[in-house]
Amino acid sequence: MPADEPITIKGGSVTIEYNEGDFEAEPDGKYCCKKKTIRRIEITGGGVSLNEKVDGNDCVIKVYYS
């Protein structure tokens, strides 16, 4: 089975790109895709270069912006 498209977060005006059909809205305003887990994290730009495989069951990614 081919890999799904990644969720992409871009700086500047903060743009989030994802396959909308994979996620369901929850009552608290969050979106969830219970059938998927995070398998890899890739961060590039701003002096950072990270590309790591992860165990998605306990992975938390926080993006701070202003």
> What is the rounded distance in angstroms from the CA atom of residue 49 to the CA atom of residue 66?
22
- pTM value? 0.67
| Mean pLDDT of all residues belonging to the chain | 85
Domain that holds residue 29: 1-66
Contact between 38 and 54 (Cβ < 8 Å): yes
Count the domains in the chain.
1
Determine the pLDDT at residue 62: 87
Q: How confident is the model at residue 2 (pLDDT cuts 50, 70, 90)?
A: low
pLDDT digits (tens, 9 = 90+) for 45-62: 989 999 999 886 788 888
- Decide: helix, strand or coil at residue 21: helix
Q: How confident is the model over 7-32, as a mean pLDDT?
A: 87
How far, in Å, are 4, 17, 28, 50 from residue 1 at the CA level? 9, 22, 32, 25
> What is the rounded distance in angstroms from the CA atom of residue 55 to the CA atom of residue 51?
14
